[in-house]
Amino acid sequence: MEQEEKIRSKVARAVQLLLFKSHRIPGVKGWELKKNLGPGYLSIIKFLNTRFQELGLTIKIVSDDGNELSMSDDESKLSTARFYVTLKDELSLTAVKTLGWSIDEIAGLAVVISTIISHKGSAPVREVEEILKKKFPEWKVKLNLARYIRRGYIAEDGENLVLGWRTFAELDVEKFIHYILSA
């Protein structure tokens, strides 16, 4: 009984760590989970993931270089990776609008991300702006780019733009490119 109570409190702690933002970036690092939940933290996370999936959510693990990891990956890789809770299934266009996004903003972000990918992960800011200006009103371009940077979808690297942490956490980049090419 005591053991059961212990596990329950660890699951509750894991929920707090995963869902409540305590740093600038949401989610939690593997080593932080281990520190708070003990060496068996992965069992707790696996159990929690099955419960989250019933609610249409899932736990996603992303390494420092932006690759998605699985819970069976090497402990040392998981330790430095970040654990996020994301939606499990696809959203409708209407649902995305209720999250505060307009069609223009979503399409703009899609154009920026695909341009960066086509430049092997780093595209000149000026080139991205020129492409956006062909599709959207000029005054909106800088405004939207600043918004994407603020939210972590892209980041500035000198005079270039690169993909940000949020893109790796929220977007299946390979699938996205496939959908763009087959749209």
Partner 1 sequence: MPQSNKYVELIERIIRLCDEVIEKNIDPFIVDVKENLEKLREGLFEMDEKILVMNMAALLKLIYVILLQQEDVKKRASRLYLDPFLMEVRLMGLDKEKIAEAFIKAFRPIAENEQATMSIMRTAYGYWANLREYRLPEAQEASMPNALNTIREILEVEEADFENEMEKILEEIGQEPVEYYDLIKRDGEEKKVLRALALSFLMTRGLVSIMQDPISEKVWVFKTTPKNIDKHSVALSI
* 115 touching partner 1, by CB under 8 A: yes
* 66 touching partner 1, by CB under 8 A: no
**Total interface residues for partner 1 by CB under 8 A:** 68
Per-residue b/e over 67-89, b at no fewer than 16 CB within 10 Å? eebeeeeeeeebeebbbbbeeee
Among 29, 41, 61, 84, binds partner 1 (CB under 8 A): 84
- Do residues 78 and 71 make contact, with C-beta atoms less than 8 angstroms apart? yes
* 87 touching partner 1, by CB under 8 A: yes
Question: Which residue number, 42 or 162, has a Cβ lying nearer to partner 1?
Answer: 162
Question: Which residue number, 6 or 178, has a Cβ lying nearer to partner 1?
Answer: 178
Per the DSSP assignment, residues forming a β-bridge with 160 are 124, 157
Question: Which residue number, 7 or 180, has a Cβ lying nearer to partner 1?
Answer: 180
Of 2-10, 37-45, 73-81, 89-97, the segment contacting partner 1 by CB under 8 A is 89-97
Which residue pairs from 117-126 have beta carbons closer than 8 angstroms and sit at least 24 positions apart in sequence?
117/163, 117/173, 117/177, 121/162, 121/163, 122/157, 122/160, 122/161, 122/162, 123/160, 123/161, 124/159, 124/160, 124/161, 125/156, 125/159, 125/160, 125/161, 126/159
* 134 touching partner 1, by CB under 8 A: yes
Please count the residues of the chain. 183
Mask of contacts with partner 1, 30-59, x by CB under 8 A? ---------------------------xx-
* 123 touching partner 1, by CB under 8 A: yes
* 111 touching partner 1, by CB under 8 A: yes
- Do residues 61 and 70 make contact, with C-beta atoms less than 8 angstroms apart? yes
**Where does 79-138 show beta strands of DSSP type E?**
82-87, 122-124
- Which residues contribute to the site for partner 1 (CB under 8 A)? 19-24, 26-27, 57-58, 60, 84-93, 96-104, 106-107, 109-111, 113-115, 117-120, 122-123, 127, 131, 134-135, 139-140, 142-143, 146, 166, 169-181, 183
